[in-house]
Amino acid sequence: MLVNLKEILKIAEEKSFAVGSFNTPDYEALEGIIAAAEELKMPVIIQHAQCHEGIIPLKEAAPLMLAAAKKADVPVCVHLDHGETLEYLKEALELGFTSIMYDGSTLPYDENLENTIKASGMAHAAGASIEAELGSMGRRESGSGDRTGSEDESKIYTDPILAKDFVAKTKLDALACSFGTTHGIYLTEPKLDFTVVERVRKETGGIPVVMHGGSGVTEEGFRSAILAGVRKINYFTYMDKSGGTAAADWIRNLPEGKPVFFTDLAVAARKAMKENVKQAIRIFGMMEG
């Protein structure tokens, strides 16, 4: 069931949980994510990050993602993650994405604001939703960057007062905030400040807050973030890692002399990613067990 981000976040808000948002740079991940959500009967967001263009181009990913969303028996949002140019956002909307994220977080505030206003207009005109980012998660989704946890984290946290102005002028459907998380594998234990989320929610009149850099956060950390007002959690690195580990284990356990077939590795990776996503959805959905 294909829906947009605003519709899926309405479900999360009403039930006080967060919807998992998972990158799908390959078909194994896409199948595993949808299967996990259907088994748990939970809404889910599948997303394509611009940094994965070299793995699968947007124009090739879109038909696969949209087809999977439409035939799923749970609500599925097809979202563009970390779109860095207006041209790329426009292409995603033309291909049928129901949600886009403009990432101007590395730009000066006024430039980020100006571009986000344009992106918001494009999205809403197409009947889609929009997310944007204020503050800095350090490394990009691809893992580039130099954030190691050694600097003063508070300097790059989202400013709740600035968020009020940003949300009011851009008419966002969701805001990605910096409150101590980062993309990729954590080099140090994250220091999460949930009061940032609470204050952003208060100042903006309850904007759904997005948590990027979800991989590596403890279950307790996730639950505290959700209670503070996080309604969308991006999760990719550890899901991807689980698939890679499963494929490596398959090769390691293969009897000597037996050939390695890629299809076997793909099946092993898909099963592992599905189970990893199921666990993440249970936590984000505040489910017992």
How much is the pLDDT for 37?
98
How much is the pLDDT for 186?
45
Please, which pLDDT band fits residue 181 given cuts at 50, 70 and 90? confident
Strands in the chain per DSSP E: 2-3, 19-23, 44-49, 76-83, 99-102, 129-134, 174-177, 209-211, 230-235
Please, which pLDDT band fits residue 142 given cuts at 50, 70 and 90? very low
Distance (Å, rounded) from C-alpha 188 to C-alpha 238?
A: 16
How much is the pLDDT for 217?
86
- Across residues 246-254, what is the average pLDDT? 97
How much is the pLDDT for 119?
98
Residues with catalytic annotation? Answer: 81
Cβ neighbour number for residue 2 with a 10 Å cutoff: 18
How much is the pLDDT for 189?
59
Q: What is the distance of C-alpha 114 from the center of its chain?
A: 23
How much is the pLDDT for 180?
86
Instruction: Kindly report the average pLDDT of the chain as a whole number.
Output: 91
How much is the pLDDT for 135?
82
For 2-284, which CATH superfamily applies? Answer: Aldolase class I (3.20.20.70)
Cβ neighbour number for residue 267 with a 10 Å cutoff: 15
Tens digits of residue pLDDT in 145-172: 333 444 445 557 899 999 999 999 999 9
- Across residues 177-198, what is the average pLDDT? 76
Q: Is it the case that residue 214 has pLDDT exceeding 90?
A: no
Tokens of 181: 């998380």
How much is the pLDDT for 141?
47
Q: Is it the case that residue 185 has pLDDT exceeding 60?
A: no
How much is the pLDDT for 150?
40
Q: Is it the case that residue 140 has pLDDT exceeding 60?
A: no
Q: Is it the case that residue 288 has pLDDT exceeding 90?
A: no
Cβ neighbour number for residue 126 with a 10 Å cutoff: 19
| Residue in 234, 163, 172 with CA at minimum distance from that of residue 200 | 163
How much is the pLDDT for 210?
97
Helix count (H) and strand count (E) of the chain?
10, 9
- Across residues 6-11, what is the average pLDDT? 98
Cβ neighbour number for residue 202 with a 10 Å cutoff: 12
Distance (Å, rounded) from C-alpha 23 to C-alpha 212?
A: 12
Tens digits of residue pLDDT in 114-133: 999 999 999 999 999 999 99
- Across residues 21-47, what is the average pLDDT? 98
Angle at 207 between CA 104 and CA 141, to 5 degrees: 35
The maximal CA–CA distance of the chain, rounded, in angstroms, is: 64
Note whether 235 and 280 are within 8 A (CB): yes
Note whether 33 and 102 are within 8 A (CB): no
Tens digits of residue pLDDT in 59-110: 999 999 999 999 999 999 999 999 999 999 999 999 999 999 999 988 999 9
- Across residues 224-237, what is the average pLDDT? 97
- In a 3-state reduction of DSSP, which class is residue 260? coil
Cβ neighbour number for residue 234 with a 10 Å cutoff: 28
How much is the pLDDT for 213?
81
- Across residues 182-210, what is the average pLDDT? 83
How much is the pLDDT for 166?
98
pLDDT higher at 11 or 140: 11
